[in-house]
Amino acid sequence: MITWLRLLFLTGSLFSLGLGLWVIFLHFFRTDVPAGIVYTGRFRALHCIFLLVTALGEILEKLGICSMPKFIRFLQDIIPNKNDPNVVVTKLYFGTIPVRLYQPKAPSGRPRCGIIFFHGGGTVFGSLSLYNSLCCYLSRESDSVVLSVGYRMVPDHRYPIPFYDCVSATIYFLKTLETYGVDPSRIILCGDSIGASSATCICQKLVTQPDLPKIRAQILLYPYLQGFNFQLPSHQQNRHVPFLTWNTFIYCVFQYLDIHPSWEATLLNGAHVPPDMREKSEKRINAHNIPKRFKERGYQPMSPGPFNEIAYLETRQILWTMNSPLIADDDIIAQLPETLLVSCEFDILRDETLLYKKRLEDQGVPVSWHHIEDGFHGVAISFNTKLFSFPCSLRILNIVVQFIKDL
């Protein structure tokens, strides 16, 4: 019996040592930590924890116990949510879609602004619980009713299910605003990362539905906006910067859109875009439209590879407007509401925000843009984590709150 216990202990120790060495190798030899990020030690520690949890999830997946995304979300959901004494949080279902409603406790003499929030995470990470504190903060500080949408996620639910869950929850909420004390003239769609992508895609969809309340504004934090060009300056500069490295990014995209990993190199060199679409997209998704200062950390222009028709047929959904809202027609863009855009310097998706800003402004849409020089992808949710918070996270939320108050 003692021999078996010793063997078990030795096996566990070797496993832990090997996993720890693997995480250290990945962090120090496969990722970049820019000096411009405040608290780089904190950043490194947080990323090592992320790598460790992800590695454990992948092991469980290979053993057939649980998929990696489900394991990550399980850990996120067991983190206890802190109660905010100034906000009433109600867990509801819109049909089968779980949502959380955040309402300030203080009485109001008039209907409040309504914020529909879609969380990020590439449909792989993220959950209602993970974003609970952020939504509480937005509700309390902006005196708004916040609806956070718990759309279904991969691997059980791939495109278009997560997006249509967001659409369905939005339409249901818009039809029942009086129930929640919301002013129909002050509705905001908000999200971060892929949640921001959903927010602007839904805004584009709703401009063709005049029977619903008109959206007053959209708030997009470091959004994912296009699947045409993966060689923009920010892709080249930040491809190894956590928490959205190229490997994490493409994993999320392929999981969501159910694209086989073998097409990664083809997408990277742009060979999946047919000639007619390439000509149209290059006018809207081009490094020439990005200010020069964002190329100073390094940029090598690259021509797309020869068109691969099979790749297009296998991956064409990434080029559709609901997955690449940056290429929407001008007449749709021109009808979009006032917009707040937040970009982060050390984010692989940074330039998509810059390109969308130009598209909106070219069509006369009022835009407020804030660039976070020490920011990285996903930083906003760290604002109240104490040991792992970063100064820019609270700045981002306060920018959002002030934008809402100024509407």
Which among 276, 188, 284 is positioned nearest to 229, based on CA atoms? 284
- The token duo for 248 is 């994490």
SS3 281: helix
DSSP 372: E
The catalytic position among 67, 127, 148, 193 is 193
Which among 347, 349, 266, 341 is positioned nearest to 311, based on CA atoms? 266
What whole-number distance in Å separates Cα of residue 297 and Cα of residue 373? 13
Helices marked H in 91-232:
132-142, 161-175, 194-206
- The token duo for 407 is 């509407």
The catalytic position among 165, 183, 192, 347 is 347
370 is catalytic: no
What whole-number distance in Å separates Cα of residue 379 and Cα of residue 407? 25
* Beta-bridge partner residues of 188: 115, 217
377 is catalytic: yes
193 is catalytic: yes
Contacts of 199 (CB under 8 A, 6+ apart): 116, 118, 189, 190, 191, 218, 219, 220, 223
Contacts of 252 (CB under 8 A, 6+ apart): 121, 122, 123, 124, 194
On the 0-12 / 13-18 / 19+ scale of CB atoms within 10 A, 371 is: middle
What whole-number distance in Å separates Cα of residue 189 and Cα of residue 273? 30
Residue 251 one-letter amino acid? Y
Catalytic annotation, residues: 193, 347, 377
